[in-house]
Homo-oligomer: A and B are copies of this chain.
Amino acid sequence: MRVLGVDPGLTRCGLGVVEGRRGGTLRMVAVDVVRTAPEVPLEQRLLAVSQRIEAWIAEHGPDAVAVERIFARSDVSTIMGTVQASGLALVAAARAGVEVGTHTPSEVKAAVCGNGRADKAQVTAMVTRILALDSPPRPADAADALAVGIAQIWRGGGQRRLDAAAGTGRPVGAGWDDAVAAQAPARQRAAERWAEAERRARQSTRRSR
């Protein structure tokens, strides 16, 4: 399957197309960051982001559009553009009749790093490894969009395990490590990191009870 991952934003909106299937290798099809200047009127910035997402859907014909879900508790004014851009991505997908998936940042981190609290550098490193890229994706901001795309492909079967790693503490099922191990040897370390992070997540879940 082919997924367009969107890391929504107004100043920078990451777009990444990933192709593959759960248990198989994944490859990067395209990656970019849409930038709009703060001095441009808001409606023109939103239109630019919207049109670029629509163009990518038309060009790459994804089976699904995956959008990072916003779960901020901060003052809404600081993430207004991000929330609006996420809405535009969802509408663009719905308009094109493409399936939609949303994933919180910790779900995405748990999917690619095995740890819902992984930092940005870890996410970039794992995206590079999972997609067997020669170097980290450029522009750097776009790694998150690729990570969202990977999460969309991987989360189907690994849902409960991923939720556990993300810290929601639901029971952990089988199948996930198998899927990761089926990746090319260069990406074997993903499974090791995953298992380690999962142990840590389990411990912290136990402690918080």
Please list the residues of chain A having a beta carbon within 8 angstroms of any beta carbon in chain B.
41-44, 46-47, 50, 70-77, 79-80, 83-88, 90-91, 93-95, 100, 102
A78: nearest chain-B partner, CB-CB: B76
Number of copies: 2
A102: nearest chain-B partner, CB-CB: B42
Q: Are B83 and A76 in contact (CB under 8 A)?
A: yes
Q: Which 4 A-B pairs have the closest CB atoms?
A: A84-B87, A43-B90, A43-B94, A47-B94
B residues less than 8 Å from A46 (CB atoms): 87, 90-91, 94
Q: Are A44 and B94 in contact (CB under 8 A)?
A: yes
A71: nearest chain-B partner, CB-CB: B77
Q: Contact partner of A88 among B41, B70, B73, B91, CB < 8 A?
A: B91
A79: nearest chain-B partner, CB-CB: B76
CA of A91 to CA of B46, assembled, Å: 6
CA of A87 to CA of B75, assembled, Å: 17
A44: nearest chain-B partner, CB-CB: B94
A74: nearest chain-B partner, CB-CB: B76
What distance in Å separates the Cβ of A87 from its nearest Cβ neighbour in chain B? Answer: 3
CA of A86 to CA of B47, assembled, Å: 13
Beyond the given A42-B102, A43-B100, could you list 6 further A-B residue pairs with CB under 8 A, ordered by the A residue number? A47-B91, A70-B76, A76-B79, A83-B87, A88-B88, A88-B91
